[in-house]
Amino acid sequence: MDTQLESFLNTLGEAERAGGRVLHELTALPQSLELREMLKKVGHDEGYYAGELAAHVRRLGGTPSNKTGDFVEKVSAVPDLKGKLELLNRGQRWVIRKINEQLPAVADETLHAFLKVMADGHEVNIGALDKALAEGKL
Ligand SMILES: [Fe+2]
């Protein structure tokens, strides 16, 4: 497969794996049960995207990365939960930006559709978390 596309998909996959790990670590921290449920759901989404990205790489003849991005350490370095969640959302916005940059060059229709759905799913999750933080749910 195209090595530029392979490396793009693997970078995204590593970021999603890191996001999933971060969310798994943060899920138990909030007092708000609603926020806990939300973080669990967002974490499952991250794991789903990581798995699908690996499947697309494999389907297109590439080798999926099994690495985890350095985002886990970045979030660990932030002392407070609110700061961690804000950093999480900044990371999620980075993912949308990266997808939107690459999308016009993605010729494979199934992958194109998946990436569109992944970007939209990120919008939804960012919005939900922003709203919870604005309402002071922590
Ligand atoms: Fe993500």
pLDDT digits (tens, 9 = 90+) for 68-96: 999 999 999 999 999 999 999 999 999 99
pTM value is 0.96
CATH number at residue 100: 1.20.1260.10
Distance 61 CA to ligand 1 centre (A): 24
Structural domain of 42? 3-134
Distance 34 CA to ligand 1 centre (A): 20
9: CB partners within 8 A, 6+ apart: 53, 56, 57, 62, 111
Distance 23 CA to ligand 1 centre (A): 10
Distance 2 CA to ligand 1 centre (A): 23
N-terminal to C-terminal alpha carbon distance within the chain? 44
Spatial separation of the C-alpha atoms in residues 2 and 121, rounded to whole Å:
26
pLDDT digits (tens, 9 = 90+) for 18-77: 999 999 999 999 999 999 999 999 999 999 999 999 999 999 999 999 999 999 999 999
Distance 13 CA to ligand 1 centre (A): 9
Spatial separation of the C-alpha atoms in residues 117 and 121, rounded to whole Å:
6
Distance 105 CA to ligand 1 centre (A): 21
Spatial separation of the C-alpha atoms in residues 76 and 63, rounded to whole Å:
29
**Number of domains making up the chain:** 1
